[in-house]
Amino acid sequence: MTVLKIVQYGEPVLRAETKEVPKVSAKIQKLVEDMFDTMYANNGVGLAAPQIGEAKRIFVLDVSTDDKPAPQMVFINPVIVKKEGAMISWEGCLSFPNVFIDVKRYASVTVRAKDIKGRTFVMTPEPESLLCRAIQHEMDHLNGILFVDHVIDRFGADALLKENNLPMIDPSKILSEPDLDQVLQCSI
């Protein structure tokens, strides 16, 4: 068991784009194993490679709950191929200890990726589920996007960040998401 250090908000690697994994080698499989160890040791449900300082297109998930077990999931070179709808999601992140905020997300996504054996799979999780939200959250990490970039209440989020000795939100990083805004406004 290897538990790695999680990179905190403010470190440049969290804003860097990641590189595709050319081959699912034994080294990549070991990295994935270490990512699961690190995620579990920190009580997370997901972890992306940039969060441990690796600029690779990999993330892992385990959305198990006490009453509903789920399998460990590995996403290598993932791509979201379809997205629709909108929702507000209450999220936190291992790179932002003790910070939980409301963010905008798609209600439904379909993702294509490779598994730990290098086999391609396509998945469409149940709309608005934890798995659906977690896939989007971890995909963002692979593109240098953070959950605070989808913030709904910037000033409330800044207060939480300040409370936890983390940098304030960079207003230039907040995403313009008119498609999500339009759906969310129609549902109010």
pLDDT digits (tens, 9 = 90+) for 147-158: 999 999 999 999
What is the token pair recorded at 76? Answer: 């290598």
* Residue 9 contacts residue 164 (beta carbons within 8 Å): no
**Alpha-carbon Rg for the chain in angstroms:** 16
CATH topology of domain 12-186: Peptide Deformylase (3.90.45)
Average pLDDT of the residues in 131-149: 98
Say yes or no to pLDDT of 55 above 90. Answer: yes
Q: What does the alpha-carbon distance between residue 61 and residue 71 come to, in Å, rounded to a whole number?
A: 9
pLDDT for position 3: 96
The pTM score is 0.95
Which of the residues are catalytic? Answer: 138
- Where do the domains of the chain lie? 12-186
How crowded is residue 153: how many other Cβ atoms within 10 Å of its Cβ?
12
Strands in the chain per DSSP E: 46-48, 58-61, 73-84, 87-93, 96-105, 108-114, 120-123
Contacts of 155 (CB under 8 A, 6+ apart): none
What is the token pair recorded at 132? Answer: 């659906």
pLDDT tens column, 11-50: 999 999 899 999 999 999 999 999 999 999 999 999 999 9
